Chain A
Amino acid sequence: MSTPDALLEVENLRVDFRTDDGVVHAVDGVSYAIKTGKTLGIVGESGSGKSVSALTMLGLTRGKRTDVSGRILFEGRDLLTLPDEELREIRGDDIAMIFQDPLSSLHPFYKVGYQLMEAVQMHRSVSKAAARDRAIDLLELVGIPDPHRRVDAYPHEFSGGMRQRAMIAMALANEPKLLIADEPTTALDVTVQAQILALLEDLQQRLEMSVILITHDLGVVAEIADEIVVMYAGRIVEHATTERIFATPQHPYTWGLLKSIPRLDTPRNENLVPISGRPPSLINRPSGCHFHPRCPYVRDQHKRVDPRLQAVPGEPGHEVACLLPVPLRKQVWQGLKAGQTPDELSALIRAKPEPEPIAAAQPAQDAGP
């Protein structure tokens, strides 16, 4: 999948961690691309590989016990094969990252201003005074009141929202082309979350950045992402524009995510539809479709055959890795939207004869041992 105007392309990325308990298949053949100035949302639960794929981009998973394969092309260069020194030049300059927990990502011992200046001076040969001015500008840019005074404050003197703003300021210090935000608002209150999201959107438009937003909150991605990738057990299970993910989701896991969260607009008395079971271990992944132990619509075949990410007919740009036949998927989602339970719908499916071979799918190659 080569995208002409892509800023960054991830191709068939695999990340394995060798541990004493076995090999953790954290990311397993993931491909996506980000266009300039767009926002890609990566959604998934803990352990779905969403953060690891982003960390790998910046070389933060490199180590003796890590096996990485595939390609991550950024402006024509493969970040995976880049030597550490060259990667360090990109990191914090062209690609910057915001982490979930602002308190543990800021150094408690140094003033916020000093940490910002360090980010500037790392990549630009400017005087100390100029770097300090830049730090003040940055704090102002992210909406910290009284930046001339705050530049000399320590992280503990900032509130949670202000720390996250300081983190964003640091990430923006060198006007990166790509910003990776890993759960940037998870630790924050809703009102502060709304402020931070509005800030990110505004800055993105002004600086024409591309943004990768990693989150488990479908509400957050619905607000600001252009495209969404849904990850499960180290793989992409669905990829589409934000509108399509919410209007015509195709994967049972996506349905589960959409139906299991209480929303402000669903009837109060309706029971939520939970996804049964729990996320799988990435060491011993289930055979066939990794989602099959939790999928209400599972058939025998799905336990053996490994689904590949495939285009949804009639919906350009929408890809899904599911073995259910397309018309059936449509029918199930319509049923779910109308308030039918997965149990009712799976009974409906079971009533139909199981189709012959699943033409598009390939046999399982690397399902867990």
Chain B
Amino acid sequence: MNANGTPLVEVRNLVKHFPITRGVIRQKKVGAVKAVDDVSFDVIKGETLGIVGETGCGKSTTARLIVRLLEPTSGEVRFEGEDITKRKGKALKSLRREMQMIFQDPYSSLNPRKSVGSIIAEPYAIHGLEKTEGARKKRVQELMDTVGLSPEHYNRYPHEFSGGQRQRIGVARALALGPKLLVADEPVSALDVSIQAQVLNMLRRLQAELGLTVIFIAHDLSVVRHMCDRVAVMYIGKIVELAPGESLYGFPRHPYTGALLSAVPVPDPVGSHRKRELLTGDVPSPANPPSACRFHTRCPKAQAICSEHEPALVDKGGGTVAACHFPLTREEADSRLPAVLTGIRADGEGAEGAEGATQAPQAGLAP
């Protein structure tokens, strides 16, 4: 909201409620799943914005609303300053050239009966571009080369490719129309570990080369840290914290962000030994979210006010906004972070904090 640079996408008070109905013939609405509930943020031109959160927090729904795969219940999505939520027909079709999506599952997002060449060329067919077959083939082969596929594989079918290669096909298809915005919804979580790095490196390279703006959705906090300039943390349909990557991972302000970071397993038996903060219970249902601050039922710092007044997203300095009445202090944040993270920072400013951090504020745990 307060980052520098021109925003490409401005999301304002976006709401998506999916109705819950009962009855077979006459369907009666008996409630709503509040998948996205009053979310506002900006995506700056050329940046990668990460959205993290647990299953059901609304991160994928937010992405689908932005690219207009879903209709919002209310709110605005402005793309280059213009509200796109009301667009229809031709105007909507032209929007598709500006924003494209990469999906999680490279197995179900490619048509198994089409050759790779025609899958990647499909956007040209839909939009009536590159009309001659020769020109189209040439463009497709260029794209295949860009994403690291051999252009000779033009006539092969998806089943002949491995998961990582299929994800590259998905990326090539998304890039075909030269979009400004790329929305990647869990692009590597279905891939083998040794393959993930290939796709992540490729996405980073493409973004730098093509000057793309990327919205990167993932549940893996290490991957998001690696890929994103700024990160939004969602919890039951709301953004609870939005901050530049360095600040979010160095000094999380919202207790939920702290809990998420504390739960990340660190592949280092020496660096990971610290008391971890465990959230108790499960994420409450978005059909019936807790009152006021939605995290208060699991929050170690919750007090009476948290269930009465909903905290607004407040500027905490350094580009960080967090919605919390009692944000984490430096010591509390350090006690939640993996030792490796506080270790890095300890060389610089927060050395004392890191020292006593390991045993100290364990008291604040959920009952």
Cα distance, A223 to B276, chains bound together (Å): 11
B196 within 8 A of A: yes
Q: Of B227, B267, B271, which one neighbours A261 at CB under 8 angstroms? A: B267
Q: Which of A25-33, A265-273, A347-355 contacts B (4 or more CB under 8 A)?
A: A265-273
Residue from A194, A220, A274 within 8 A of B201 (CB atoms): A274
| B interface residues (Cβ-Cβ under 8 A, vs A) | 54-55, 162, 164-165, 192-198, 200-201, 204, 219-223, 225-227, 245-246, 249, 259-272, 276, 278-283, 338, 340-341, 343-344
Measured CB to CB, the residues of A under 8 A from B are: 45-46, 145, 159-162, 189-195, 197-198, 216-220, 222-223, 242-243, 246-247, 256-258, 260-266, 268, 271-276, 278-279
Contact flag A219-B226 (CB < 8 Å), given A160-B55, A271-B204, A274-B198: no
Whole-angstrom CA separation of A131 from B54 in the bound complex: 35
Shortest CB-to-CB span from A186 to chain B, Å, is: 10
Q: Tell me, in angstroms, the Cα distance from A217 to B265 when the chains sit together.
A: 9
Which residue of chain A is the closest to B165 with respect to CB atoms?
A278
- Which of B223, B246, B271, B282 counts the most chain A CB atoms within 10 A? B282
Inter-subunit contact B225/A218 (CB<8 Å):
no
- A223-B225 contact, Cβ under 8 Å, with A45-B193, A278-B195: no
Contact, CB under 8 Å: A279 / B192: yes
A189 and B218 alpha carbons, distance in the complex (Å): 11
Q: Which residues of A contact B226 (CB under 8 A)?
A: 262, 266, 268, 272
7 example contacts (A-B, Cβ-Cβ < 8 A) are as follows: A190-B219, A192-B282, A193-B263, A194-B276, A197-B265, A257-B193, A262-B222
Partner of A145, one of B200, B259, B271, B281: B281
A276 to B270, CA, bound (A): 28
B265 touches A222 (CB 8 A): yes
**Residues in B whose Cβ lies below 8 Å from that of A145:** 281
> Is there an interface contact between B225 and A216, defined as CB atoms closer than 8 Å?
no
Residues of B within 8 A of A195 (CB): 278-280
CA distance A44 to B264 in the complex (A): 20
> How far is it, in angstroms, between the C-alpha of A243 and the C-alpha of B256 when the chains are bound?
31
Give the nearest-CB partner of A162 in chain B.
Answer: B282
Give min CB distance, A72 to chain B, whole Å. 27
CA–CA, A256 and B193, complex, Å = 10
Q: Chain A residues near B194 (CB, 8 Å)?
A: 45, 256-257, 260, 274-275, 278-279
A271 to B201, alpha carbons, bound, how many Å?
Answer: 6
The closest CB in chain B to the CB of A247 belongs to B270
Whether the pair B222, A264 counts as a contact (CB closer than 8 A) is yes
Given A160-B55, A190-B221, A268-B225, decide whether A261 and B265 contact each other with a Cβ distance below 8 A: no
Contact of B193 (CB < 8 Å), options: A191, A194, A198, A216: A216
Instruction: Indicate if the CB atoms of B340 and A265 lie closer than 8 Å.
Output: yes
* B267 with A258: CB separation less than 8 A: yes
Q: Which residues of B contact A222 (CB under 8 A)?
A: 265-269, 272
Q: Which residues of B contact A197 (CB under 8 A)?
A: 265
Q: Which of A198, A262, A273 contacts B223 (CB 8 A)?
A: A262
Tell whether, in the assembled complex, residue A265 and residue B344 are in contact, meaning their CB atoms are under 8 Å apart.
yes
Question: CB distance B276 to A198 under 8 Å?
Answer: yes
In the bound complex, do residue B262 and residue A194 qualify as a contact, i.e. CB atoms below 8 Å apart? yes
**Smallest Cβ-Cβ distance to B277: which chain A residue:** A194
- Contact indicator B197/A272 (Cβ below 8 Å): yes
**Additional 4 contacts, C-beta under 8 A, given A190-B260, A278-B194:** A190-B265, A192-B54, A246-B268, A274-B194
User: Which residue of A190, A193, A217, A261 contacts B197 across the interface (Cβ within 8 Å)?
Assistant: A261
User: How far, in angstroms, from A264 to B343 measured CA to CA in the complex?
Assistant: 11
Whether A243 pairs with B265 at a CB distance below 8 angstroms is no
Other-chain residue from A189, A216, A223, A261 in contact with B272 (beta carbon distance below 8 A)? A223
In the complex formed, the residue of A with least CB distance to B53 is A189
- Best-buried of B223, B245, B264 by chain A (most CB within 10 Å): B264
The answer to whether A191 and B204 touch (CB under 8 A), given A242-B269, A246-B268, is: no
- Nearest-neighbour CB distance to chain A for B5, whole angstroms, equals 19
CB atoms of B269 and A261 under 8 A apart: no
Write the nearest CB–CB distance from B11 to chain A, whole angstroms: 24
Minimum Cβ distance to chain A for residue B266 (Å): 6
Q: Which residues of chain A are near B340, meaning CB under 8 Å?
A: 263-265
- Do B193 and A264 touch across chains, with their CB atoms under 8 A apart? no
Chain A contacts for B192, CB-based, 8 A = 45-46, 216, 278-279
CB distance A191 to B279 under 8 Å?
yes
Closest CB in chain A relative to B50 CB, distance in Å? 12
- Provide the residues of chain B in CB contact with A190, threshold 8 Å: 54, 219-221, 260, 263-265
In the complex, are the beta carbons of A272 and B200 less than 8 A apart?
Answer: yes
Q: Are B281 and A193 in contact (CB under 8 A)?
A: no
Complex alpha-carbon distance, A161 and B278, angstroms: 13
Bound together, the chains give a CA A243 to CA B278 distance in angstroms of: 25
